[in-house]
Structure 1
Amino acid sequence: MAWVKLFRKPGTGSTGTGGPPGSMLSLALTKGLLNEPGQNSCFLNSAVQVLWQLDVFRRSLRQLSAHFCLGDACIFCALKSIFSQFQQSRERALPSDTLRHALAETFKDEQRFQLGLMDDAAECFENILERIHLHLVSDSAAEACTSKSCITHQKFAMTLYEQHPYFVCGIKECPVTFVTDRDSLKEVERVLERTDRLRSDMFGELLQAANTIGDLRNCPSNCGQSIKIRRVLMNCPEIVTIGFVWDAEQSDLTEDVIRSLGPHLNLSGLFYRVTDENAKKRDLHLVGMICYSSRHYLAFAYHSKSSKWVFFDDATVKEVSKTTNTSLINQINHIYRSLCLS
């Protein structure tokens, strides 16, 4: 399973040649996160590293202090503590125990994210964002949050409505979207087979094909036919997340899907229609990936100040290289496959 993290291109500024733009305020140092034997914290460490390397998220979280604190179960405090250590500590690898304990305490009734047990990095990422929302806006439902202080919805949320030729199903606001299963990935494969060569702007088209397959509703006139839903984007999110899920640890589609990833994504190609003018114009740039193989999570993140991609394997941190966008996916794919075979 791979997570792809993208962010909206700023109007000005660049960090160097060939890489996606970012903030020159990014911290130069990168640190690993410890995962001692029996802790099984790689899923959490990977999610935290991607969140830390997202400049817009890190800066926004740093500016916040007032929140509804839950003591030992406060995920907001625990994440702020790790971010502070990233900035101030001289250690090359730091413990993530505080956040691990806060997650375990928060979800003990559901028996999720418990100490010593392996869990899912994508669900960890989503639940960290959801809990931050609740710590900041405790009386607001997640799908109706318009609070300016809620960085979960201000940075991640997509406002969508679903329509078909006869009616509008309703408006939804979601921080995380686009999870595709094996049947959807087969649809991507069929699209690729019909294409002579992979275009640089084709990634959004492939995702739209995968995300809409089988998404049907019964016709409201009760004629017995099924109608395909069309999704319309109404806002311009700063950060977009995409998840690929396979139904087995080993998949013959893995390499093909990774090769089809594009370092750029335009929201207009991802939806049936986009109504926000800024969203129509903005390109998204790939800035992070969480990868899963052999019961272990790894992360890649773009470090904006050095214009380099960095590989995170718990306490191990390695620079990938200073790379152009066109060679980015090939290099990450090569490194990832090498790790899986080692």
Structure 2
Amino acid sequence: RVSPSSLFQGPPTKRIPEHLPPDDVRLVVSRVFADVEGLPRFQVGAQADAAELLDAVLLSLHDSVTDEETCNPWCFAHTAFGGVVQESTGQCPCGSDGETQKHRTMLHYFPASLLHREQDAEGQLEAAIHKHFNSDVRTCGLCGKHQLGVRKSLQSAPVICAFVLAWTSSDVSKDWLHSALHEFPDQIDLLKIYDIPEQKEEVIYDVRGFICFYGGHYVCFFFNVTLRQWIFFDDSNVRVVGTLQQVTTQMVDGRLLPLVLFYNRRQKDVPSPPYNRS
């Protein structure tokens, strides 16, 4: 059975490579998803959504080590990205105590329009995402009449929090993008986005990467913790960009729309990375 994990496997005497050859990655992905419910996905030469591929690869990594939905103990994908989201409705006027549902998630979705946040609520992205996550309503399962608000909480804080932005159009002006990315938050407190019952103190995450798209193409920016610099990646180039401000400037100038945001949980004994915005 072909799995994305095969990219990291080799002869016992051969160490794991420091990077993965792009062509090898494409071939493995193409084989892994050659038959998904009778249809091929993510094939060589075909266009596909990068966020959908990321989600599919993480689920495939899970399936390659366990068929159990409970995933106990957690696999690599769930250990790094996984979280249990609990959705609860309050008491209904009909007398129902409400409902509680739990599901695992490795990606967290919100509309890209939230980047263009207003200055109320201190203009914080966390507040806008929290409001969106808790804006769902659900019909009471007992009476079938009343609409009940859904409260979302995260049962544990993952190592990596990956947010996927839903864009309604790729026709975005530079002015809109500049306004949205101006002073982009280099850190977030996950407690301002989700209720996390087990956490009593702030849970800080530092931004570590972006997957961006333009005109059907994808590029990436990731922070290198050794160089303390942001690095640009595409199909054929790897180069140093510099600071986070230089990253967002390139995104605006090239009209690169952020699709996936990667935030890494900060360890208490590890200092915050020196993001120089100058």
Query: If the TM-score is normalised by the length of the shorter chain, which range does it land in?
Result: 0.7 to 0.9
Within the alignment, does 1:210 sit opposite 2:138 as a pair?
Answer: no
Partner of 2:49: 120
SS at match of 2:168: coil
Partner of 2:211: 290
Within the alignment, does 1:103 sit opposite 2:29 as a pair?
Answer: yes
> C-alpha distance in 2, partners of 1:291/1:79?
25
> C-alpha distance in 2, partners of 1:295/1:153?
29
- 1:156, distance to aligned residue in structure 2 (A): 1.0
The one of 72, 78, 85 aligned to 1:153: 78
> C-alpha distance in 1, partners of 2:163/2:221?
15
> C-alpha distance in 2, partners of 1:79/1:254?
37
Deviations 1:144-188 (A, max 9, x none): 21224x1111121111211121223212121222x1236xx2x66
SS at match of 1:210: helix
8 Å CA contact 2:88–2:100 kept in 1: the answer is yes
Partner of 2:275: none
> C-alpha distance in 2, partners of 1:80/1:317?
24
- 1:194, distance to aligned residue in structure 2 (A): 3.2
Within the alignment, does 1:140 sit opposite 2:68 as a pair?
Answer: yes
- 1:221, distance to aligned residue in structure 2 (A): 4.7
> C-alpha distance in 1, partners of 2:254/2:148?
44
Tell me: CA distance 1:80–1:247, structure 2 relative to 1, closer, same or farther (3 Å). Answer: farther
8 Å CA contact 1:103–1:114 kept in 2: the answer is yes
The one of 77, 101, 123 aligned to 1:170: 101
> Identity of aligned pairs, percent?
20
8 Å CA contact 2:191–2:203 kept in 1: the answer is no
> C-alpha distance in 2, partners of 1:260/1:140?
43
Tell me: CA distance 1:314–1:112, structure 2 relative to 1, closer, same or farther (3 Å). Answer: same
8 Å CA contact 1:234–1:275 kept in 2: the answer is yes
Tell me: CA distance 1:181–1:332, structure 2 relative to 1, closer, same or farther (3 Å). Answer: same
> C-alpha distance in 2, partners of 1:236/1:222?
35
- Moved >6 Å (runs of 4+): none
Within the alignment, does 1:257 sit opposite 2:185 as a pair?
Answer: no
> C-alpha distance in 1, partners of 2:144/2:30?
49
- 1:74, distance to aligned residue in structure 2 (A): 2.6
8 Å CA contact 1:79–1:99 kept in 2: the answer is no
> C-alpha distance in 2, partners of 1:291/1:188?
14
Deviations 1:63-89 (A, max 9, x none): xxxxxxx2xx332112557x93335xx
Specify every segment of 5 or more residues in structure 1 that has no aligned partner in the other structure, as ranges.
1-69, 88-93
Q: TM-score, normalised by structure 1?
A: 0.64
Within the alignment, does 1:85 sit opposite 2:11 as a pair?
Answer: no
8 Å CA contact 1:203–1:260 kept in 2: the answer is no
The one-letter amino acid paired with 1:264 is: Q
Root-mean-square deviation over aligned CA pairs:
2.5
Number of equivalences:
241
Q: Report the structure, 1 or 2, having the larger helix content.
A: 1
Q: Which moved more, 1:160-169 or 1:220-229?
A: 220-229
Tell me: CA distance 1:212–1:277, structure 2 relative to 1, closer, same or farther (3 Å). Answer: closer
Partner of 1:274: 196
The one of 237, 241, 252 aligned to 1:320: 241
The one-letter amino acid paired with 1:86 is: E
Tell me: CA distance 1:220–1:283, structure 2 relative to 1, closer, same or farther (3 Å). Answer: same
The one-letter amino acid paired with 1:84 is: I
The one of 117, 142, 147 aligned to 1:226: 147
8 Å CA contact 2:107–2:164 kept in 1: the answer is no
